[in-house]
Structure 1
Amino acid sequence: MPVNSVASELREHSAYPLILVLACIFIINPPAGLFAAFLYVLTSARSHDHLFRIASWHFVAIGIFLGAVNSTKIPENDLVWYYRGYLDAGRYSYSTYIEQFGINGQGKELFFPTFNYILYQIFGPSTKAYITIVTTIYYGSIGLATSRVARTLKIHPAIAMVAMTVFAAAPNIFSLSALLLRQNIAFAIVMVVMTDRFIYGKNRYILMILAVLTHASSLFFLLIFFVPGIRQRITAKTLPVFAAITALILNYQAISALIVSAIPGDNVLTYALTRASTGTNYELNALSMTQISFNLAMLAGMFCAIYIFKPSYKNNSGVIAISNVVFITLLFVISNLEYTELSSRFNFYYLSLFPIAATIALSTVPMRIAAPVLIVSQPLLLALFVAGLYWSVWSYELKQEILYWPVFLYYL
C-alpha cells in the first residue's frame, strides 16, 4: 500500500482514540464528557470529516445521557402502560405477544412489539435499560440526521451540536420522550429514511414499512417523501404544486375516508387511514399562541437562511426537500388545531425537526461571532435542563445529581 494511502487511512481513524477518551470522561461525568466533545469540535482545526465523527459520538452520547435520566423517572401515565407491555414479553410467546400488544391497533402495528420482544430477550425485565435504549434511539437518530444535513451543506459541526443540545435541554420535549415511545421509535426510523432518500438518494423501503408498523401516523411522512415536486424550491412557478399539497392536507379526512372505502380487509393501512379520516379530541389543551408563534419562527429562520442569507443552499435539492417536509408538517399542525390530539401529536413531530431547522438557521451567523455565545450556551442549557426536572409535572429520582453522578450509578 502506498505511503500516502497509509497516512490517509490513519487520519481516517484518528478520531477513535479521542472518542475512547471522551467516552471515559462521559462515563465518569456525562455533562463533562459532552462539553469536552463540544469544546474540542468548536476549537479544533482538524478536517470536517474528523470533527463530524466526534459530533456523531456526541449526538449518541446525548441520547444515552437523557436515557439514563429517563431511567430515574417515576413511572406514571403512559410509561406505566409501556413498562407493563415490555414486561409482558417475558410472559408470552412471540406470536401471542405481538397479536395482543396495543390498545387500538392490536395485531396491526407489529414492529414495536417485535422490537420490545427482542430487547426483552437481551436485557430481560430491566425497564431502566429499556427506556434508556428507546431514548437513545430517538435522540441519537435526530442528531445523526442533523449531522447529515450539516455535512452536506458544509456547516460547522459545532452549530449542529448546539442545535441538538438546545433540543435536548428543552423540558417540554424531554418530558414527552418517556411517554410517546412508539411514536419516538417510528420517528427515529422516519429520520433515517428521510436523510437517506434526500441526502444520499437511497430508498429504504423496508424501513418505511417498519415505521408504519411501529406507529401508523408515520405514514404521513412517507407519503410526503414521494410527493411530486417535493424537491422543488417554493417559487412562483411551483406555487401550483404547493397549493395542491395544501388542498390535500386541508381535505385529508375526506380523502382518507374515500381510500379506506376502496381498500378491502383490516390491516395496518386501513387502520391508519381510518384513524386519519376521523378527528380525535382527548383531554389535551389546544396549542397556545406562544407555541404556534415559536413554530412559525422556527420555519421562518430556516427559510430565511435558505432563500435569503445562504443562496447556495437552494442548489441542494435534498435540503430543499427536507425544508419542504418541515413546512408541510407545520401546515398540517395548524390546519388541525381544532383536533387537539392530532395537532399535539404532529406538533411533537414538528418540534423533533427543530435541530435540522435550527442548524440551517444558525449557520448564517459567522463562527467568529457565534463561538463565544456557543460556549456560554452550554452551561446555561444544562442549568435549564436541571431546572426542568424540578418544574416538570413528572417526578424524577435524580435532579441536581445528574451534574456529578457517573453513568453506572443510574442503574444501581
Structure 2
Amino acid sequence: MKLAFLAGQNSIHTVRWVNAMVEKVSELHLLTMHQPKDPIDQRVKIHQLPYKAPHGYFFNLKHLKKILTNLQPDLLHVHYASGYGTLGRLTGYHPLILSVWGSDVYDFPATSFLHRTLVAANLRQADWVCSTSEVMAKQTLSICPELPNLSITPFGIDIDKFSPRSTLRDKNYLTVGTVKRLTSKYGIDILLKAFAHARTMAINYHPEIANQLRLMIVGDGSQKKELESLAKQLQIQNITNFVGAVPHEQVPHYLNQMDIYVAASRLDSESFGVAVLEASACGLPVVVSNAGGLPEVVADGVTGYIAPKENVQATAKAILQLIQNDRDRILMGLAGRKLVCDRYVWQNNVELMQQIYQKLLSKTKNISLN
C-alpha cells in the first residue's frame, strides 16, 4: 500500500502515526507545510509545501494536487478537520480518511456559522472519519450527522517506553506534576491554585507531608510568565519547578519523577487524555477535570479522581486525598497501568487503523468494480 499523510509534522501525534505506519505499508509520504519538532523515520518521504499556515491551507492547493497526481497514493489520510481538512477537501482526492483531533471540531466550528459550515464540508468529503474518543465522535456527528463511516481510533501508549521507573523518584519529596502546554485551555492556573490550597490544608493536618510537597510543570507556552507570577502570589514559587518544553521521548523521564499527575483542563476540546494515559502507564494516580474525553480514560476512584471543571476546591481535595494516602497512590497507579495495558496499547491502536485502511480500500475497490 502506498499511503500519503497530509498533516503538520510539528505535532507529535503526526510523528507517531507516520513512524508507526511506515512499518505497515510499502511506501509512506508526508505532505506538510510545517517544520518538524520530533524525529521522523528516515523511510518516510517528506514533501514540504511552499506556503505556511494559515494561508497555505488554500495557497498550497496547486502544489498539493501536482504531488498527488505524481504519487497516486492508494489512500490520503488527512489529520485535523479545519486547516488541513480544508486543503484535503479542495484536492478532491479519494479515497480520503479524515482524523479529527479536538479543537478542530470543538473550538473552530464555534467561532462562526461560516467556520462550522467549512468543517462540515470537510467532514462530508471524507470517505472515513476517525476520532480518538467517544465524546469527540458525538461532537463530530453534531456537526455532520450524515457521516457514513466513523470509527473510534484511540491514540494509544507505548507501554514499554511509558512504564514505571521507581529509581527516578526522589523519596525525600512528594511531587505533584503535569505535562502540558502553558495555555489557558489546559488549566495550569487551576493546578497551581489547587496545589497551593492542598498544601495549606496539609500544613494544618499533616505538616510533615506538607514539607515534602513539590510541584513540577513540564511544558512551555504563552502563559509561562503569567503562571510564574501566579506561583509567586500563591507563595509556592520556591517549591514549583517550571521545567519548560521537553522532547516527547524525554516525557517518561519526567513522569517517573512525579507521584501524582494532574490534568485540570477547562475546555472540552481536550478530546482525549493521551498525557493522562502516559502518566497512568508510568504507574501514577491521576486527578483530571471532567473536560472533553478526559473522564473516558480515568476510572473514578480506581485509577484516579475526576473533579468538576475549573473547580479549585474539588481539585485540591482530590490532590490532598492522594497526598495523605500512600496506599491509594500505589493501588491507583497499579490500576492505571492495567487500564492502559488492557485498552490503550499503541500497537493495537495502529493495527485498528490499518484495518480501517483495508476496509476502505476493499470498499472502494468494490465500488469501482460495480
Same-fold status (TM-score > 0.5): no
Q: Which has the higher strand share?
A: 2
Q: TM-score range by the shorter chain?
A: under 0.3
TM-score for both structures, normalised by structure 1: 0.22
Bigger relative CO (Cα 8 Å, ≥ 6 apart): 1
Q: Between Structure 1 and Structure 2, which shows a larger proportion of helix residues?
A: 1
TM-score (norm 2): 0.24
